[in-house]
Structure 1
Amino acid sequence: MTGARSRTLPARGLRFLLARRRVLLRLAVWSALETGQTFLIGYGPARALDAGFLRGRPDVGLAWLAVTGLGVLLGAYGTARVYAAVAALVEPLRDRLVERVVSRGVRTGDAGSLSGLTQQVEIARDTFAGLVMVSRSFVFTAAGALAGLFALAPPLLLVVGPPLAAGVVLFAATLRPLARRQEAFLVADEALAGHLGTVCPGLRDITATGAEARIAAATGERVEAELRAARALARWGVLRVASLAIGGQLPIVLLLATAPWLLAQGVTTGALVGALAYVTQSLLPALRNLVHGLGTSGSRLTVVLRRLTGDSGVVAGRETPTHTRPDDATTGRRTRLPGKPGGPFLQGARRGAQDRPTAHADADPPGRNAVPARAGSPAAPPPALSLTSVTFAYGPASTPVVDGLDLTLAPGTHLAVVGPSGAGKSTLTALVAGLLAPDRGTITVGGHTVPGPEAAAARVLIPQEAYVFDGTLAENLAYLRPDPVPEEDMLAAAEAVGLAPLADRLGGLGARVDPATLSAGERQLVALTRAFLSYAPLALLDEATCHLDPETEERAERAFAARPGGTLVVVAHRISSARRADRVLVMDGRSTAYGGHEELLRSSAPYRDLVGSWTPVPCRRRSEPALTLGDADRVDAVAGPGLAGDGRHVVAHGPVGQVQAPGDLRDGGSLGREG
């Protein structure tokens, strides 16, 4: 098939040229002036020396030099006219390519048509024009130089002609292999670029899932493939340089080496100087332009034309858009996931089957910036999470976001991390997940150092923006499990997390999921259930429930907290998350506090500011809303006494006069980007 395609493209090119015979004739006529110019460049100085200056007749010598100058002017005029003829040859090619690209784009909905119109057609046009110019220039320049050598002295052709012919033949023999290597290099480069375009947007999730080694191996394979293609191209490039040395530079050496023999054969001094002028001023530059132009641009033109005309397996220089799942990226196998491109990788990695720890122990109470671990027996399981003197800053001159933090969580602990924006909550989860490396200190997950494959297998990160891929709901939910997941397990997980209503609405576990039709909260439910089914004992919820209503959020958090041996770390954005947690870590950018909800209300002023504090005031009369909405039915949007709320709702535990709005926990501090 490849050979047929290779034959099709030259045949099309030949038909294209034959249909424009008049243009080719006009191009040849104007190029003939360059032949005269080249002829005079060597013949004129030779006659000026032999018939003029060496015989004491400077007037004759100057006359021949004047003729040579006139020939150069005529050649320049012909070259200027050549550009118009080349344009008449090139522009129809561009028009035909544009018509073909537009026709295919309209007919097939080809997404690569824009690239074809804006870039590839212009590459073909400019490259074709350059090839016409260098090929035409070499042919007519060589004809003029060889004619001049014969006119000066036929023995000169015996010295210059054979190496010139050998260099051209060697170069011609490398054209097809060079084109194949050039195309192989471009394909390898496109494969690497496409792979990196898939991997780079998902670097956070790759690190979070512990897939660094597998993704690095897959990327390394593509890099090695491109390196092999580049080396093969370079090896053939050496032959191209050799052809230039043989055809353009060896004649100079031979002319100088055979000068005594040439003079003995009756070759005059002027003729020898003219021969050197032909080689150095005409043949060598023309051959150099041909080798570099046709060798590189010719291969590029072949590749581009194959793609634009559909003679290549890759249409219009692009691959069919695909989404790559993490495991596919490691093996080089692309799984077709039609849908929205550019999404990050899944939150988690396929876990190997492992025993889940069953011990539950509370972490000990706090220090100011340290959380000591309870001393246990040697047989006690390792901490689910341990941070020792961890410090991290986003730059050498930046204030540390996390500064000397010590934290130990026993298996089964439910921790809520709270604090104003920029306090370092998300930075903390990124450090635990291995997305960031601490400047100082160590982090372990399940006794394994972070980063590392063992630690990666022991935790799953669910970020705020959940990723759902095209496929069935069951495929999305079971993705983090290496083994088949029984349907009853998926249904139980969906019921526990709160996904069951969405699953019923979609049509069950076998229904296909279109991520574009799901809301942000629904995507979060899918990602949460996927993580719930994974074998990772440590779950990191980095505001992974921010798009859920309070009731659904509570259900999901309680489900994770109840997993056998499971440890839960939640970056909380509602007061209720902190109330439900066993322990709360308060981060305010200056210090940390650790303890239970009620304990921190008494001991931590920053936590009281986040939750919302109030001071009772005397109530002399029946409380009324501070602002009346003027509703005719006296129904006002203010909570009444005894109501308890959450999030951005009004919270009241006494008279309305004591009402305070605790707000979102993210609004309790200074504004800024969350760490």
Structure 2
Amino acid sequence: MGRHSSPRAGARRFLVARSPGWALLAHRLATTRGPLLRLLAWSGAEAVPPLLSGLMVSAAVDQGFLAGRPGVGVAWLAGFGAATAVRAYAARAGFPHLAAVVEPLRDALVERVVRGALARSHADPAEVARLTEQVESARQLTATLLRTLRGVGVTLVAALAGLALLAPAVLPLVLLPLLASGALFARLLRPLVARRRAVVLAEERLAADAAPALHGLRDIQATGADRRVAEALTATAEASAAASRALGRAAALRSLVVALGGRLPVLAVVAAAPWLLDEGGLTAGELLGVTTYLLQQLDPAVRTLAGTVGGWLLGLAVVLDRLAATSPDPAEHDPAEHEPAEHEPAGPEAPRPGPAEPPCAPAAAATATVRLTSLCYAHGPGAEPVFANLDVTTAPGEHLAVVGPSGTGKSTLAALLAGLLAPLGGGLTVAGVRPHTLPGPERARLVALLPQEAYIFPGPVRANLAWLAAPTEARLTHAVELLGAGALVARLGGLDAVIADPAALSAGERQLLALVRTYLSPAPVVVLDEATCHLDAAAEDRVERAFAARPGTLVVVAHRLGSALRADRVLLLDGGRGVLARHGDLQVLSPLYRELVGHWWGSAGPRGAAPVTGHPS
């Protein structure tokens, strides 16, 4: 800290310059400068009642009640009431501008978490869920702090300005304890943030250690390891409790901040009251006005700052630091991320197209064999296995349909093939490579997965379709027409039209655009996980035939009987195992498959559309 630095300036530098979380928040808030300034303007209107409170009380006493004119005193108090109504209106008017600051912050943090997850070779879904919860905590804490701090800050500044106007002689009695209180609060911030962070880390460690133990409780008891596991969990729990106690001891010192900044000025003024009335030239009304400033404005503001705001500030600091550390934004380290593509608007909402490659590299497609060898997978250490020794091998360029009752692992298999999940046992390779070991971009160039809920981002139609590749104009136009999306693209205004709100598109329209994007992908293996469920049977037939003719291997989680009939072979999943055969052979081999086919035919609509039973597993 420099020679001329104050404790407050030192605390500010610590929070912003040394904390990646505060730097992240400052960067995001800088993009909403307009709403912040409008929020500050309404805060100025809120300062009127705190500023006038002591002055009007003083005038009501001296010019009204003590002067024998109670009507004048009541008029002054009525004016104070009217000023309070102005403050209420200003507080209400500031909420839309507060929302305009906080909601973009939430969206930016969610995008950061998603980008960070996609940049890792494989992201833990539980970790992503925890980070998303922390984003919501950051949004709520930021909104609460902005709403509370502007009220408290306005009150504090207005009270000091009112004291200066009403009774300048009182200012030393108020400012000296208040400055000492601010210095103590600034001094406490660093250890409080460190201890709050230690509590959060200890709680996360306890949750991470306890979850596997609870899932594998039967195995722990069977192997006689229960005592050792209990001792380890007890040690972790004691460490968490110790961190909480350390935070409590540090937080207790905040009561000194309240005593110094809120209570001591009141005691000082009360003790000096005889001198202020006799020698200081204060009237009884002015002394009562000073007391109004201290008791109704200054003391509550200091208590709120040191108590409630202090706690929220610490929580926000830790949450932001966790988000900054655990979900780094790849765009911050890749200058090219900020350069718009030829047909893509600048901005974070439009992902850049991938490298200029043909829809499917012929060399890769020729060797795109999917091989599952004794594959085992379960959703948790103690959970029932989804797959147990599953063996499947596809030929290069094969069209495979995956069917089975709800809960048999069809979508889980799709996620395993795409590398989003890692096998717990056995082997899974695509073109000789284990997909879950690849970084995100390489994995996407090997396997293109399209789930049931298609993702379309705000931006040009062209940027959405060319997200995974950079096709020529002729190839892009051919793919649009081949998959039957020409009428949709024309209705939207052409390839260069901008999709302002993807939610305005129907689920089927979003699926159709995403199918064109997936068709243009360079990946030699495409996995459609009920990706045509919102299309009619004729559109689904057209799409699947186009993908089947595309170079490479096609895996379709069947939604209708037509998907199984069009496939080269059908994989029936049931009870952790699979039966792989042609459609006709599988009807002979499996009573379950015959039952599924009968259900499909029985529930077929007038156009032959028959949904599979249940939901994607």
> TM-score scaled by structure 1?
0.46
Structure with the greater relative contact order (CA < 8 A, sep ≥ 6): 1 or 2? 2
Larger Rg: 1
